[in-house]
A and B are shown apart, each in its own frame.
Chain A
Amino acid sequence: MHLLLFLIFAGFCLAGAANLLLQSHPINSALSLIVVMTSLAVLYLLLGAEFLAAAQIIVYAGAIMVLFVFVVMLLNAGREDRTRGSRAARAVGLPAVVAILAVLATIILRAKGLGGVALSQGITTTEELSRVLFSELLLPFEVTSVLILIAILGAVALARNDGERPAAK
């Protein structure tokens, strides 16, 4: 059962990621990214992380992707023009990606004693997680809330039309 679920949702993940690359319209890419994030939430659940699965759906597939889709529609982003791009990015970048993937795969495959994941292993409850988060890691948690506040201010300041500069040339 675990194997079946893993194969299905890993397949969804990879198909969604590949579709993100192949689609030329940004809205299609955004929708395939939602597929990737939702399947990742299921994989988190298989790994026993119930809180993260919920947060993944609410924060990533919900909030962040709504923001993306909203911006795509706001800017009326059309089909992208397929240019060659920079030659250096293709000549150096793509072989580098293959090299990185090869190195990662060899390291992962050579690792010993990693064991397996089964459904019977139980899940980390939100209670256990929050007990650590709100006692030992309270300061980092509070700092991230300040970070979010600054990000909100920054986003508003950046996206606001100040009216002095003429809009679009």
Chain B
Amino acid sequence: MNFSSLLQQEVPVTWYLLLSALLFSLGVVGFLIKRNLITVFMSIELMLNAVNLSFVTFAHQWLHCDPLLSQACMLAQPHAVRGQIFVFFVMVVAAAEAAVGLAIIIAVFRTRATLAVDRIDLMKL
């Protein structure tokens, strides 16, 4: 197999989307079964990342589809880069969310001296 045929080799877009769905489900499972506040928060980050993957996949889909084949592609192509920009905004919001969330975890730990979610069941500090 020569080099150009290696470059032409394709992976179906559906595989990326399935991977994204699987990662999201693993994140939800982690959110449900983990009993440590920090790990629960990590599961939320995992879900955000899974959604980002599907955003990037769809952005790629609209960037590289054939405008002559489908009407939707022709309409979407000028805006295809925006899918990636949306991921950029999600990253910014995730960074802000992580900073505030971890600060809340520190504040909770200071008053309760525990990180077990079973024992943090009141909103009142």
Contact = CB atoms under 8 A, between A and B. Distances in A.
A17 B20 CA distance: 12
Contacts of B102: 67-68, 71, 155, 159
B122 interface: no
B33 interface: yes
Contacts of B107: 158-159
Nearest to B79: A132
Contact of A154 (B25, B46, B100): B100
Interface string A136-154: 0100100010011011101
A149 to B, nearest CB: 9
A85 B95 CA distance: 29
Interface string B64-77: 11000110000000
User: Which residue among A17, A93, A165 has the maximum number of chain B CB atoms within 10 Å of its CB?
Assistant: A17
10 contacts: A48-B64, A52-B87, A59-B94, A80-B36, A97-B29, A114-B17, A118-B7, A154-B100, A155-B103, A169-B113
Contact of B9 (A74, A111, A118): A118
B105 A75 contact: yes
B81 A124 contact: yes
Contact of A85 (B6, B35, B109): B35
Given A26-B39, A94-B32, A59 B95 contact: yes
A10 B27 CA distance: 15
Q: Report whether over half of chain B's contact residues are helix, strand or loop; otherwise say mixed.
A: helix
Nearest to A30: B42
B116 A20 contact: no
A98 B28 CA distance: 10
A116 B45 CA distance: 28
Contact of A159 (B13, B88, B103): B103
B36 A37 contact: no
Given A51-B84, A129-B85, A117 B10 contact: yes
Contacts of A10: 15, 19
Contacts of A161: 110
A100 B80 CA distance: 27
A114 B13 contact: yes
B42 A80 contact: no
B42 A105 contact: no
A121 B7 CA distance: 9
Interface in B110-125: 110-113, 115-118
A155 B42 CA distance: 18
Interface in A77-122: 77, 80-83, 85, 89-90, 93-94, 97-98, 100-101, 104-105, 108-109, 111, 113-121
Contacts of B33: 21, 85, 90
